[in-house]
Structure 1
Amino acid sequence: MDNISAAGNYHLSNNSSVQLEGKLQSNKVSSGEMDKLKEACNDFEAIFIKQMLDSMKKTINYSDLSKRNMGEEIFDDMLYDEYAKKMSGTAGLGIGNMMFQQLSRQLPSDIL
């Protein structure tokens, strides 16, 4: 059973998640479309994490002894992109999964 916590957070029970996956796999929605939706949700999670890491990076105080050049800034940005991708897959934040479950519920009723 789905429930809402006292803090207002929505929790999807394991049983509901399994039922939803079963319905989506057994109906007209192609697995390619569902894979695209899942990938888009995971990409959104990576972008969210990247924004968080960028905000954290702004708090670093660099010394005046060594000047940072544009190459270092580009490398850092690319490195943080990769950190965000890796974290979205392994950190277990669940933002992408929650988005996928919510968006897949909004599919037309004839599909479900």
Structure 2
Amino acid sequence: MPAIENNMAPIQPLTGGDRRERALEELKKATEEFEAIFINSMLKAMRNTIIESNLFPEQAGKDVYRAMMDEYLAKEISRSGGVGISRMLFEELSKYIGEEVYRGTK
């Protein structure tokens, strides 16, 4: 059984650069999540335009699985580059992550 490491070294405070990097990571994640929500609503709107066929019987839970699939697809599209909304938002909003991060007010 491996021993538990007991590291009692003091925790170093974040420097200004570390705070900025962490803030940029959080911003990147937030912009990707925003784009995923946008893409999901686009997929939902596109799916509503499809005329339903009577070829296959209506099955219980079909709408739930379809919504889950759209949500997953939207997240993957956003994560892999998306439609560019995430990138544009990140580029614009990252300009504002600066002095307030260095001063420690954020």
**Superposed pair shares fold, TM > 0.5:** yes
Q: Distance in 1 between matches of 2:97 and 2:23?
A: 12
Alignment match, 1:89: 79
Q: Distance in 2 between matches of 1:110 and 1:62?
A: 53
Q: Residues 35 and 61 of structure 1: is their aligned pair in 2 closer, same or farther, counting only changes over 3 Å? A: same
In structure 2, stretches of 5+ residues that fail to align are: 1-15
Deviation at 1:86, TM superposition (A): 1.0
Residue 101 (str. 1) matches residue 101 (str. 2):
no
TM-score (norm. length: structure 2):
0.67
Residue 33 (str. 1) matches residue 23 (str. 2):
yes
- Provide the identity percentage: 32
Of residues 38, 44, 52 in structure 1, which corresponds to 2:42? 52
Q: Distance in 2 between matches of 1:61 and 1:50?
A: 19
In structure 1, stretches of 5+ residues that fail to align are: 1-25
Of 101-110 and 46-55, the range deviating more from structure 2: 101-110
The alignment covers a number of residue pairs equal to 87
Q: Residues 28 and 75 of structure 1: is their aligned pair in 2 closer, same or farther, counting only changes over 3 Å? A: closer
Say what the alpha-carbon RMSD is for the aligned residues: 2.3
- Residue by residue, what CA displacement relative to the aligned partner does 1:51-85 show, whole Å, maximum 9, x if unpaired? 11011000111123544344000000000001101
Deviation at 1:33, TM superposition (A): 1.8
Bigger relative contact order, structure 1 or 2 (CA pairs below 8 A, ≥6 apart): 2
Q: Distance in 2 between matches of 1:65 and 1:92?
A: 33
SS of equivalent residue, structure 1 residue 46:
helix
Q: Rg larger in 1 or in 2?
A: 2
Deviation at 1:88, TM superposition (A): 1.0
SS of equivalent residue, structure 1 residue 62:
coil
